[in-house]
């Protein structure tokens, strides 16, 4: 039974990425997953609960990816660059940020996994920028919090702009440009 629950969550994660919350119906989840209606309602009260479980799972997955990538670098700015400069395809959108525009996300319960994820990402990036400033690697012209906000905005804005322009590489241009700007704030070693 745990396999069916996991299958439903994985299917919903994919559909949220492809279609968003409002355009995903329970019937589509059932069709795509091959699970039965009874299994769906055995594990979840409805679409909302499944979506929350899927977004929580996606947030945990992305957070773990970030942590694993950052752990490979002792230099905090190298860690930020490694994260920001991963090759991404804006035409697919962010695996979690894509659904932020759905009107239903005004529901605090649906928004909670997104708020948690972006809050944690902001905190982790803030810590890296704080470490860089403490180690005299980076100017303090902008606070670590401002730099974290700018990094997330460059990445998410790159996804949005790239999807709007139907140009998958735009997100990579945005993140590369952020790193170029960040490097202008490096202090001489």
- What pLDDT is recorded for position 1? 57
pTM above threshold 0.85: yes
Q: Does 42 reside within a domain?
A: yes
- What pLDDT is recorded for position 189? 67
- What pLDDT is recorded for position 179? 97
pLDDT band with cut points at 50, 70 and 90 for residue 98: confident
Instruction: Look up tokens 């998410």; give the residue.
Output: 156
- Residue among 177, 70, 46 nearest 120 (CA): 70
Q: Does 127 reside within a domain?
A: yes
Ranges 57-61, 100-104, 107-111, 148-152: which has the least confidence:
100-104
What's the average model confidence in pLDDT over 175-189? 93
What's the average model confidence in pLDDT over 48-66? 97
Say what the alpha-carbon torsion angle 128, 122, 72, 74 is, to the nearest 10 degrees.
Answer: 0
Expressed as residue numbers, the domain containing 39 is 2-183
Q: Rounded to an integer, what distance in angstroms lies between the CA atom of residue 148 and that of residue 156?
A: 12
Q: Does 29 reside within a domain?
A: yes
Q: Does 52 reside within a domain?
A: yes
- How many Cβ atoms sit within 10 Å of the Cβ of residue 155? 20
- What pLDDT is recorded for position 92? 85
The answer to whether 60 and 140 are in contact (CB under 8 A) is no
Q: How many alpha carbons fall within 13 Å on the CB side of residue 114?
A: 22
Q: Does 33 reside within a domain?
A: yes
> Per-residue pLDDT tens for 63-94?
999 999 999 999 999 999 999 999 999 888 89
Q: Does 20 reside within a domain?
A: yes
Q: Does 23 reside within a domain?
A: yes
Look at the chain and report how many structural domains it folds into: 1
Q: Rounded to an integer, what distance in angstroms lies between the CA atom of residue 12 and that of residue 28?
A: 9
- At 13, which CATH number? 1.10.357.10
pLDDT band with cut points at 50, 70 and 90 for residue 101: confident
The answer to whether 183 and 80 are in contact (CB under 8 A) is no
Q: Which residues pair with 138 in a beta bridge?
A: 186
pLDDT band with cut points at 50, 70 and 90 for residue 156: very high
> Per-residue pLDDT tens for 108-152?
999 999 999 999 999 999 999 999 999 999 999 999 999 999 999
Q: Does 189 reside within a domain?
A: no
Tell whether the model's pLDDT for residue 158 goes beyond 60.
yes
pLDDT over 90 percentage in the chain: 89
């Amino acid at each position: 039974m745990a396999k069916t629950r996991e299958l439903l969550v994985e299917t919903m994660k994919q559909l949220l990425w492809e279609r968003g919350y409002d355009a995903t119906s329970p019937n589509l989840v059932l069709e795509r997953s091959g699970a039965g209606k009874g299994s769906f309602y055995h594990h979840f009260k409805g679409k909302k609960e499944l979506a929350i479980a899927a977004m929580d799972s996606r947030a945990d997955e992305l957070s773990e990816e970030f942590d694993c990538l950052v752990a490979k670098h002792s230099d905090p700015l190298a860690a930020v660059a490694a994260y920001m400069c991963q090759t991404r395809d804006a035409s697919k959108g962010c695996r979690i940020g894509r659904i932020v525009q759905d009107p239903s996300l005004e529901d605090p319960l649906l928004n909670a996994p997104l708020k948690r994820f972006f809050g944690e990402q902001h905190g982790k990036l803030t810590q890296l920028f704080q470490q860089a400033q403490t180690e005299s690697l980076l100017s303090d012209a902008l606070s670590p919090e401002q730099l974290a906000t700018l990094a997330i905005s460059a990445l998410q804005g790159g996804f949005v702009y790239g999807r709007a322009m139907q140009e998958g590489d735009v997100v990579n241009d945005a993140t590369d440009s952020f790193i170029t700007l960040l490097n202008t704030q490096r202090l001489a070693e």
